[in-house]
Amino acid sequence: MKAAAGCALSGRRVLEIADETGVYCGKLMADMGADVIKVERPGGDATRRIPPFLHDRPGTDRSLFFLYMNTNKRSVSLDMEQQAGRSLLHRLVRSVDIVIETLPPGRLDELGAGFESMRAERPDLVVTSITGFGQIGPHASWRSNDLVAGAMGGAMYVTGEADDPPVNMASAQNHLMASTTAASSSLIALLHAGRTGVGQQVDISVQETTLAVSHITGVGRWLEDGLIPRRVGTALTASTPSGAYPCRDGQIYLMVNRPAHWKALAKWIHEETGNEEVLLPIFEGPSSNRQEYRELIDLFISDMTKEHSVEEIFHEGQRRHIAFTPLNSTEQAARGDHLQSRGYFIEVDHPATGPIHYPSAPYRFERTPWSIRRPAPRVGEHNEEVYLGELGLDADELASLRESGVV
């Protein structure tokens, strides 16, 4: 492994006991230089079986989800249900700055390695717990997944056509938002621990995160304009006009909120189509002023966009400071000039897959750069490195643990 010197989290050590709910939290830290040790059950973590698989061939090292989400991490295998495994877990927790966990509320304490269990030994420990509904409250014991989080967090309430069945957001966006929130919150707690010597438990509810981070499901529009978001197809209740509009060769997405942006758009429509009605004062001002005219305004916009290509509308819209963006397929986005010219995709070589291209940095720091220094680990790849070299077990102890199925 290449040294992580110069990265933002160099010298920090993190223990990850996380399923798909929180695995991205550990990735964010690992790719910024933290030494993230991933705890897997003997035989491999369940996230290794999440599709899609490279070339549609399942395998413990072929899940594209797992390969992407676990770059730069080290893997140790551990059966936490056995007493010897709990003892080893306790030692691991004692050696790190942050624990990321997605176990049911209170379970890590039952294993003797939670925040409350470890406070006497590690008063500066940060334990970040990511669960469906948080550690306390009436729903704390409820099971959850990304679909449940999207429904109870409000995202599904505003996604899709009004008369269609419920529609979930693409991919696992609720878990990604929770993991991102967990990572930033963990670093705030780590900073506090460094200054005061006092650790904290960071309690992340996926439902609350979904509700909080997205303006379309939050209370902002109600407080500002008295609007309750509804399902309006590709559009947003909070933004009029908004949605996907037809072009000669595809579709383009538009979102207009500010009065100045509407004026720029109305002027452009007038120039292109000769439409005088679009310039009427009744359409001006905040987005809420245009709510009752949504269908009419959509016709005005479509009359213009359908006469042009996606690229023509996109570039002219950018020139006029209007938020148009091409509605690309995944392949179009990956092969398009924008991401290619920015060097967004990087090649990562894994012994089980060979070189394949991965998305790169979610953000770029000048002095403490993001980097992928090694691929996702194989199951228990670092058992000897961690258990023998860092925790101080001897070879006979490790052999005994292997024989009993603890590691």
The predicted structure's pLDDT at residue 273: 97
pLDDT, tens digit, for every residue of 151-176? 999 888 888 898 999 888 888 999 99
Q: Which among 320, 376, 383 is positioned nearest to 88, based on CA atoms?
A: 383
* Shared-domain flag, residues 260 and 180: no
Distance, in Å, from the CA atom of 108 to the CA atom of 133, rounded to the nearest integer, reads: 16
* Shared-domain flag, residues 322 and 348: no
Lowest mean pLDDT among 55-69, 136-150, 216-230, 382-396: 216-230
Q: Give me the residues paired with residue 39 across strands.
A: 76
Q: Does position 219 have pLDDT exceeding 80, yes or no?
A: no
Region 39-50 average pLDDT: 96
The predicted structure's pLDDT at residue 2: 47
* Shared-domain flag, residues 117 and 263: no
Residue type, 129: S
Residue 36 lies in a domain: yes
Choose one of 293, 327, 361: the last residue of a domain.
327
> Which residues form the domain of 250?
242-327
Q: What is the Cα Rg of the chain in Å?
A: 25
- Positive or negative torsion for Cα 191, 192, 194, 200: negative
Residue 389 lies in a domain: yes
The predicted structure's pLDDT at residue 1: 41
Residue 25 lies in a domain: yes
CATH at residue 257: 3.30.1540.10
The predicted structure's pLDDT at residue 167: 87
The predicted structure's pLDDT at residue 75: 98
Task: Say which DSSP state 385 is in.
Answer: I
Region 16-23 average pLDDT: 97
Residue 333 lies in a domain: no
Choose one of 327, 355, 390: the last residue of a domain.
327
Residue type, 360: S
Residue 220 lies in a domain: no
Give the three-state DSSP class for 328. Answer: coil
Here the tokens at position 262 are 């509407």
* Shared-domain flag, residues 38 and 114: yes
* Shared-domain flag, residues 262 and 155: no
* Shared-domain flag, residues 359 and 316: no
Choose one of 327, 362, 385: the last residue of a domain.
327
* Shared-domain flag, residues 196 and 309: no
pLDDT, tens digit, for every residue of 274-295? 999 999 999 999 888 998 999 9
* Shared-domain flag, residues 247 and 140: no
Residue 112 lies in a domain: yes
* Shared-domain flag, residues 180 and 315: no
Residue 115 lies in a domain: yes
Residue 93 lies in a domain: yes
* Shared-domain flag, residues 323 and 351: no
Residues with Cβ within 8 Å of 92's Cβ and at least 6 positions away in sequence, in order, are: 15, 37, 39, 76, 78, 113, 386, 391
Q: Name the burial class of residue 213, with classes exposed (0-12), middle (13-18) and buried (19+) by CB atoms within 10 angstroms of its CB.
A: middle
How many structural domains are present in the chain?
A: 2
How far, CA to CA in Å, does 363 sit from each of 47, 74, 111, 329, 370? 25, 23, 36, 23, 8
State in Å, rounded, how far the first CA of the chain is from the last one. Answer: 23
* Shared-domain flag, residues 52 and 182: yes
pTM assigned to the model: 0.91
* Shared-domain flag, residues 287 and 376: no
Count helices and strands in the chain by DSSP H and E runs: 16, 11
The predicted structure's pLDDT at residue 288: 84
Q: Give me the residues paired with residue 350 across strands.
A: 354
CATH at residue 102: 3.40.50.10540
pLDDT, tens digit, for every residue of 91-107? 999 999 999 999 999 99
